A and B are shown apart, each in its own frame.
Chain A
Amino acid sequence: MACETHLTRVWLILVSNEVERVVTKNNAAPLLEIKHLKTHFFTEDGVVRAVDGVDLQVFPGEVVGLVGESGCGKSVTSLSIMQLISAPGKIVAGEITFEGQNLLELSEKEMMKIRGDRISMIFQQPQTSLNPVFQAGDQVAEVFRIHQKLQDEEAWEQAVELFRMVGIPAPERRAKSYPHEMSGGMAQRVMIAMALALRPNLLVADEPTTALDVTIQAQIIQLIQDLRKEVGAAVILITHDLGVVAEMAERVAVMYAGQIVEMTDVISLFDKTFHPYTQGLIGSIPVLGKVKERLEVIPGSVPNLVDLPPGCRFAPRCRARMEYGLDLCTKVEPQLIEYQPGHQVRCWLYQDTEEYKAPLKDRG
């Protein structure tokens, strides 16, 4: 399996991309700023706290990775930005500021103008994300008809032009085909064309390569990379694949059970992770040349979001807690703090407590 070489590949990518990466841009104003976002789902079984106090900043032109297991709230965060949360879900608290406007205060009509124009999105399942009964070109052309009020013919021409831009062969003919006549990779190209049609400032990519073949994945990643530079869009890249993160992202936020547990630039993510959960995630990647009896596995499973444990949400599965015998973890919830410049972590190992004035890790 490709896994063997995975981490090695990650390192190679990190090193080779380093020149291009602009790690800190903190002096500029953020393009998108999410503050204390809470999105809950009110189901029969109780309130599912899918996103529970997320803070995130995205600066113009950068790629931010949002990583975590499935069910950790990555996708709900992205849908919250687009305000596409439907019942029984609801954004219950927080602010989402985009280009100086709080999106949560906008009317649905104003939000409609932003969607697909200033912020756009691509999804995990390209083939089911396209409407089966309309021609692919028509679905791309629709973006021009909605936002630029173009006539059918003009919009169609623009769509064909985009098909060419995303590297679809014979674009005139392909625009007329239906989604079921396309491969996954081709459909994802169509989705990318649709998302980048109006040169958005922010592209939210929700697992853009997960459903695709490995060989196609690389092509799609390359395509997103090239086009985002050309268009000048910032990208929120949602994925559970650390390889993809290493390849594209500049900064990474790791999510667990509806919260961000660690946030840093991509190099320190692989180099010196702090949070035991992130360490577990990286430890579960096989490393070439390193003989291991077995891969690390994070014991247990993601907690039930209806009935969350008190204290740290990761505590029940946390090896470090057991090693250090920290009682606090199961009682009080840790905060996301900046432990080192540009590196935030949510863990009692790195925080001042009432008992101890210095973080545990610093006391050695």
Chain B
Amino acid sequence: MTDKTANLANLDKEGLSLKSVSLWQITWRRLFKRKSALLGLGILIVLVFIALTAQWISPYDPYQVLIGIEDVDMRQAPCIHLLGCPKDQPQHIMGIDGNVRDQFSRLLYGTRLSLMVGLTTVSFAIIIGTILGALSGYFGGWVDNTIMRVMDVLLAFPSLLLAIAIVTVLGPGLINALLAIGIVSIPAYARVVRSSVLSVREMDYVSATRALGGNNFDILFKRIMPNALTPLIVQGTLGIATAILDAAALSFLGLGAQPPTPEWGQMLSAERNQVFTAPHLVFYPGFAIMTTVLAFNLLGDGLRDALDPRLAHTSK
């Protein structure tokens, strides 16, 4: 028992001293031990594959209205040949939407948009958040005070509500929705970076660099930032999940992606009054959102556990 923890402790020490290579190896090894994280990673790989190949694997053009092309009705239920749908009818495995388009193809294209939404908002928030957090943590004093009070104010709003307010002002649309979600998630990253900067700033090797006459920004970016990377990766992965969820919510409220864009939240919103008559049009887009968000959540949790040496002790 003690032996095992001792071994893990040794591993951690190695990980820190040898820097990136072994730390990443250990993280991978730990990550692979967690079934849920692997599931998340697996789903994500499939989603990325779909996003990259959407134009080839989609049976139809997502914008193509099928009136006059195929003999299908508006909001027709799914027809899957394998499940006994007559072979003479065209196959639409997720049915036909309110504008007589193939829902499956729209859903596949939606993957692209969803991943893009997650990545762009989080990248935006990470960049701004990192700059603010680093300045705040490194310079302290009034810089720190000003930045962190602004972050406090942003955090004082329920995040979805602030995003709604921002988009209402900027005007509905996907880009504005992304911007709003990005702005709303800045404080989380700023706080993460600030606290790692604060914890690293006083460490001996940073003081040593300073004593050797390294300049401020050199120290900041070469010495401190690598240490903030770990918490940022975890926070970022979980942040993508929230961003996708919030973007879908904004689209649902009519503030995000506009028709005819194949965006899941928008697709669901367009058909929400038809839930009793054509439930498949509500079920599939929502399920797609949940699966994608779940993948990022599982992966993020797994990464956090794998990167947090403290958790090694819970197996005791």
Contacts and interface: CB of A to CB of B under 8 A. Distances in A.
A and B touching (Cβ–Cβ under 8 A): yes
Contacts of B17: none
A40 B2 CA distance: 12
B315 A305 contact: no
Interface in B1-54: 1-4, 6
Contacts of B2: 70-71
A274 interface: no
Contacts of A305: 1, 3
A71 B315 contact: no
Given A43-B315, A44-B315, A304 B3 contact: yes
Nearest to A72: B2
Contacts of A44: 315
A48 B3 contact: yes
A45 B7 CA distance: 11
Interface residues of A, number: 14
Interface in A315-356: none
Contacts of A70: 2
Contacts of B1: 41, 43, 48, 50, 76, 89, 305
A104 interface: no
Interface string A60-98: 000000000011000010000000000001000000000
B315 to A, nearest CB: 7
Contact of A306 (B3, B6, B315): B3
Contacts of A71: 2-3, 6
A89 B315 CA distance: 11
Contacts of B6: 71
A305 B2 CA distance: 9
B2 to A, nearest CB: 4
Contacts of A302: 3
Contacts of A304: 3
B32 to A, nearest CB: 13
Contacts of A48: 1, 3-4
Interface in A217-247: none
Interface string A145-175: 0000000000000000000000000000000
Contacts of B3: 48, 71, 302, 304-306
Interface in B194-217: none
A50 B315 CA distance: 16
B7 to A, nearest CB: 9
Contacts of A45: 4
Interface string A29-71: 0000000000001011100101000000000000000000011
Interface of B: 1-4, 6, 315
20 contacts: A41-B1, A43-B1, A43-B4, A43-B315, A44-B315, A45-B4, A48-B3, A48-B4, A50-B1, A70-B2, A71-B2, A71-B3, A71-B6, A76-B1, A89-B1, A304-B3, A305-B1, A305-B3, A306-B3, A306-B4
A-B pairs, 6 with minimum CB distance: A71-B2, A41-B1, A48-B1, A304-B3, A305-B3, A45-B4
Interface of A: 41, 43-45, 48, 50, 70-71, 76, 89, 302, 304-306
Given A43-B1, A71-B6, 11 more contacts: A41-B1, A43-B4, A43-B315, A45-B4, A71-B2, A71-B3, A302-B3, A304-B3, A305-B3, A306-B3, A306-B4
